[in-house]
Amino acid sequence: MTEVICPCCNSEIGVQGDIVEGHMHYCGSCRGILASDRWLNSNTRQTNLRNLRKAVFDGQPAGFHCPACQGEMVKGPVTTNQGATIEVDGCLKCGSLWFDNREIESFIPDIREKANLPDDSNPILPVISGGVHVAKEMITNLFDAFGSFAGRKKDDSEE
């Protein structure tokens, strides 16, 4: 499977699921979800899914391509079960739907359990958790570079 890049934050997004039940891509940085058509069919009530598809695919161009297949993405306003309106993006080619941070929870309340997603109920964690891995890696690389630089200087001065 090829690398899938998040359309919101340009981070690489992980894939979950299998060929039978479909794939769901989750961005650990911005918490967006790209759900394949097959995954949605396996995990969403059909009445919710029918309403989602009608609203999205009757919409207008979204201005980006599908992260999974590079097909044209369209967007449309969708009314949630709670009466709020959110904008959901969908791919005309593969039928995948893109949900921004936690938008999918309006349609699949138990998404965290179904997809084994991290619990980000703490309001501070979503802000910092995406960058923690990157920050640790950068600090490690910085110390490694400094250590190798300091190591070379020490070797040079001993000669």
Is the pLDDT confidence value at 154 over 50? no
Count the neighbouring beta carbons within 10 Å of the beta carbon of residue 114.
15
pLDDT tens digits, residue range 85-106?
989 999 999 999 999 987 888 7
Is the pLDDT confidence value at 125 over 60? no
Q: How far is CA 83 from the centre of its chain?
A: 24
- The band of 14, judged by pLDDT with boundaries at 50, 70 and 90, is confident
pLDDT at site 60: 95
Report yes or no: 27 and 15 within 8 Å, Cβ to Cβ. no
The H or E element containing residue 59 is none
Mean of pLDDT over the chain: 77
**pTM of the complete model:** 0.69
Over residues 126-141, mean pLDDT: 50
